[in-house]
Amino acid sequence: MSHSHDKEDSCCSSKVHAEPKHTHDHNHVHAEADDHGHDHGGNPSAFKTYLPALVTLIMLLIGITFDNLFTIPAFQIIRPYWYIVAYLPVGIPVLQEVWETFKVKDFFTEFSLMSIATIGAFAIGEYPEGVTVMLFYTIGELFQMAAVNRAKRNIKALLDVRAEVAHVFRNGKYEDINPEKVEIGETIQVKAGEKIPLDGELISDKSSFNTAALTGESKPRNINKGESILAGMLNLDKVVEVKVTKAFADSALSRILEMVQNATTRKAKTELFIRKFAKIYTPIVFFLALALVTVPILILGSEYHFQTWLYRSLVFLVISCPCALVISIPLGYFGGIGAASANGILFKGANFLDLITKLNTVVMDKTGTLTKGVFKVQKVESIIDEAQFLNVLTALEAKSTHPIAKAIVEYVGQKEIHPAENIEEIAGMGLKGIVKGKAVLAGNVKLLQQFNIDFDSEIASIEETIVVVAINQKYVGYVLIADEIKEDASRAIQQLHENGIKQVVMLSGDKTSIVKKVAQSLGIDTYFGDLLPEGKVARLEEIKSERSRVVAFVGDGINDTPVLAISDIGIAMGAMGSDAAIETADVVIQTDQPSKIATAIKIGKATKNVVIQNIVLAFAVKAIVLILGAGGLATMWEAVFADVGVAFLAILNAVRIQKMKFL
């Protein structure tokens, strides 16, 4: 059938070990276990990662037990050496980090603060405290690593939604292999309902494809033998063969994987501030600790007791270590990225988690964003019995493989279809044939005009795609076929308004009459139709001209790429979205559900709240214990809580984001 239709339009970086060790990101102290429980050294289990902390913990508990419960002279002799051995499994990695940072003349890091404090504790005989500080610091690192891995698994699960199998012709048969292993020039087979895994050239005669991902239009496209076919197109018709012309490395999937790996390299402003703050703060507290051990001698004179003031100084160092901030703030953002991934949303940077909380205007494309981009029968108008009308129409359409024909057959269902004879396709107009001895025409308005058949002139003014039918040279009715609105589209607009979005605007290349109908049915505030890509850009620039607006654009096609690029936040539909749209966007909705936009806003707000909570918690507790420590009222144990304890609480608070429900 050849119907002619009206055209419709950080922190801890997510890539752990991505930075050199001397940058003193907290994720470098220990080898990180990957998503399968293996560490990067290829060991069969992550157990080796946790073994040093476990050994230290056991030895520390044994030492404390002998110190407090048993009086064994032999243990008192070996006591210093026992605690030194207990210290080494967790202390050596940190000391190595100190050496690495010293080599690049970076002397004031949390690693150096921890090393000085714990070695100083050993120097004055406070062995259990020295071991405990380093052990708790290490456990904090392991907590952070586990949280990061959880978020990475969520992101990986998000990407697994995309098809990663290609049917390649090798050794005289088709084999299912990973698209990465397909070579240029090889032949792949794509079955009906499958996505094209790689760019190529169609070898089969022809087929129909859903190209909404590339064009932003719901109208399927017929592609003939020898024409180019792109990854992301959906095969609607029959089994086809494609000659591969581009490697997998150039596909959308590989680019998305790269985006995920670099997701948290784009830092939020709060995170960047904390990192800069830590670089200034750390040397300041180091010299304050040094002053705490030296200045009192000038004031107290002969009453000065070096060991007392050294202990206070070491307590001060442990308390003031910025671990809680340096770990928990970036981890909060990474937790937000992981929570978003678990909900089918990919943020390409922590900065967009911050920015999305400030949104007040959302501009949306129509086709493929608010609508499904597929044909459905919306209305049947007939001047004869409707069942008879549909039977006659379906008799012709059942012989066609065109998506419009399939939509009609699907609408009619499993009813008995009359046999049709002498079916003939009239290019660009429709079909004609004989059904139960009657001459039947089914196609567009031009088909009826071609055969000089009278019909109501109002039919010609219908904006949507219609299939008109004539029996024995008399018009008998039509079927209206249109793009179907997504199930959650109305809820999406409602939720946006509930989440502080003052205005929702729809921009579309479709006819204004259709755009108006969709906008009114969904409760969209403002709409514009009949827009070319440059028209969308002009409208968006006009909206952005008001400085008070923070604007997000939501789209899915190549034609949306310019507006995605100039918006404050570009949001792309990822399941059927074009490669260009996905690459240009700042946020990708992998499930293609517009309601996920409100979910993304909620996750951004929850992340911001957790980050603020962690900052207030860390500063408040540290300030109190710092004052107590300087006055000799806090011991190393209180210092451990003020540093590692607060870090634990902050990490647990950050991890909480990934367990929240965002409905």
| 268 vs 352: CA distance, rounded Å | 7
| 630 vs 652: CA distance, rounded Å | 29
Task: Confirm whether 354 is a catalytic residue.
Answer: no
Q: Which two tokens stand for residue 652?
A: 């647990």
* CA-closest candidate to residue 557, choices 521, 522, 532: 532
Longest dimension (CA), the chain: 122
Amino acid found at 392: V
Q: What is the DSSP string of 574-593?
A: -SS--HHHHHH-SEEETT--
- Strands (E) across 72-204 are located at 166-170, 173-177, 187-190, 200-202
Query: Which residue of the set 365, 579, 586, 592 is catalytic?
Result: 365
Q: Which two tokens stand for residue 133?
A: 């500080």
| 573 vs 100: CA distance, rounded Å | 44
Sign, CA dihedral 489-494-495-496, equals positive
Amino acid found at 607: T
| 349 vs 353: CA distance, rounded Å | 7
Q: Which two tokens stand for residue 220?
A: 């399927």
Q: Is residue 424 within a helix (H) or strand (E), and if so which, with residue range? A: strand 420-426
Q: What angle do CA 407, 410, 412 make, to 5 degrees?
A: 110
| 57 vs 54: CA distance, rounded Å | 5
Sign, CA dihedral 461-462-463-469, equals negative
Count other C-beta atoms under 10 Å from residue 557's C-beta.
Answer: 29
Positions annotated as catalytic residues are 365
